[in-house]
Structure 1
Amino acid sequence: MADQALTKEEILDTTVQVLRRFGPEKTTVVDVARALNVSHGTIYRHFPSKASLREAVAKRWLHGIIKPLEVVQKQEGSPTELLRLWVETLIQIKHSKVQEDPELFTMYTTLVEESVEVVSSHIAELIGQITPIIEKGIAEKEFKSSNAANTASGVFMATARFHHPLHAKEWASPTINQEFDIVWNLILSGIVK
């Protein structure tokens, strides 16, 4: 591959393949460069360090979670229905990722754990998507909260067991849906008028 024609997306695509092959612990920038048939200096022109390359992979994966949620956030419906749909969509996205390719899911969660700033930004973006739904509920007098941002944070944190990767092994429980309903009803009892 010619150095000048190489894009960041091509590097990231190849990095994912190399990470999958060697694992996050053993993958080096040289491995990625070798897979692309370029010098490691070429990779460093796009990503200044191994950490920044791994962070970019994590960020792209997390962005893939955000996009479908943006669609939900913009749908019509009551704030209660939209809030539940948003949370269920987040849960479904995460559960699908672990079911479709558990090894890849584990690899990505390892990369994400290393990227504290990326994760913090991702969580802020997720809560930022919930906030307008809560604001709409307050404006329509469906929700009793006076602080939409705090309520959005609370909803996100209260449902973490169902979407945070650290709980992925629990998602296979035959009672996980009933457990979510219990938590959801508790959330609603706290925010619905």
Structure 2
Amino acid sequence: MAPTTETLTAERILEATEEVLRRHGPAKATVVDVARALGVSHGSVYRHFRTKAVLREAVTKRWLDRTALRLSAIVGQDRAPESLLREWLEALFDAKRRKAGDDPELFATFSVLADENSGVVDQHIAELTAQLTEIVRNGVARGAFTATDPALAARAVFQATGRFHDPAYASRWLRPQVRAEFDAVVDLLLRGLRAADHPAG
């Protein structure tokens, strides 16, 4: 094993782990494989991540956090709430669909890891619904939306659009009619949220 000249960081280990998972899949990938890819001993990896389970949890969180970070950039924009909500839902759908279509092996791998790490997935969903809640709450404050409980409304929106971001539905995301189906669901949700005296837009 050739010694590494770069400082071993948690981020480097996570990058290598993702590549090892892509090559070997979740069933066969080992910490030894990750260490070999980095040119270090497996003990060096364990100094950053004390068990294989902790490493797999961390790489799952890193993968999910990329989507959450991209979506958070939309939330704070000063735009019409309806437009903001539609863009946020589109960005979530597009991010998931890109991951499934561009790298299906890695997407399948992370779907397995997500099932193993339900706590990480729960945190991810909580973060996404918090972003949605902020959009809905802002819409209510601006008179665009009507919702007595913005958090409850946000959870309902998230659940109603589940077939466009839940990995269980990934096989349907490449069907030709999926975009029209997505638009129809979002239009229906926006009509339900829209304040009676507020024009569409």
Asked if Structure 1 and Structure 2 have the same fold, meaning a TM-score greater than 0.5 normalized by the shorter chain, the answer is: yes
1:6-25 matches, within 5 Å, as 6-25=8-27
Contact 1:3 1:38 in 2 (8 A): no
Contact 2:4 2:38 in 1 (8 A): no
CA–CA distance in structure 2, aligned partners of residues 178 and 34 of structure 1: 47
**One-letter identity of the residue aligned with 2:136:** I
CA–CA distance in structure 1, aligned partners of residues 188 and 138 of structure 2: 20
Corresponding residue to 1:101 among 100, 103, 111: 103
Compute the RMSD of aligned alpha carbons. Answer: 1.5
CA–CA distance in structure 1, aligned partners of residues 127 and 185 of structure 2: 22
Q: Identity across aligned pairs (percent)?
A: 48
2:76 is matched with 74
CA–CA distance in structure 2, aligned partners of residues 90 and 4 of structure 1: 35
1:150 is matched with 152
1:60 is matched with 62
Corresponding residue to 1:172 among 174, 179, 194: 174
CA–CA distance in structure 1, aligned partners of residues 95 and 129 of structure 2: 16
CA–CA distance in structure 2, aligned partners of residues 35 and 132 of structure 1: 42
1:62-141 matches, within 5 Å, as 62-141=64-143
Contact 1:29 1:40 in 2 (8 A): yes
Q: CA deviation at 1:54?
A: 0.6
Which structure 1 residue ranges, 4+ long, deviate > 4 Å from structure 2?
Answer: none
- Alignment pair present for 1:42 and 2:44: yes
Q: CA deviation at 1:20?
A: 1.4
SS of the residue corresponding to residue 179 of structure 1 reads helix
2:184 is matched with 182
SS of the residue corresponding to residue 5 of structure 1 reads coil
Q: CA deviation at 1:151?
A: 0.6
**One-letter identity of the residue aligned with 2:81:** P
Deviations 1:46-70 (A, max 9, x none): 0011011011111111111111111
SS of the residue corresponding to residue 76 of structure 1 reads coil
TM, length-normalised to structure 2: 0.91
Q: Specify every segment of 5 or more residues in structure 1 that has no aligned partner in the other structure, as ranges.
A: none
SS of the residue corresponding to residue 25 of structure 1 reads helix
CA–CA distance in structure 2, aligned partners of residues 170 and 95 of structure 1: 10
CA–CA distance in structure 2, aligned partners of residues 128 and 48 of structure 1: 31
Contact 1:29 1:50 in 2 (8 A): yes
CA–CA distance in structure 2, aligned partners of residues 21 and 99 of structure 1: 17
SS of the residue corresponding to residue 143 of structure 2 reads coil
**One-letter identity of the residue aligned with 2:137:** E
CA–CA distance in structure 2, aligned partners of residues 67 and 174 of structure 1: 28
Deviations 1:104-127 (A, max 9, x none): 111122212211111000000001
CA–CA distance in structure 1, aligned partners of residues 164 and 87 of structure 2: 14
CA–CA distance in structure 1, aligned partners of residues 71 and 167 of structure 2: 17
TM, length-normalised to structure 1: 0.94
Contact 2:49 2:55 in 1 (8 A): yes
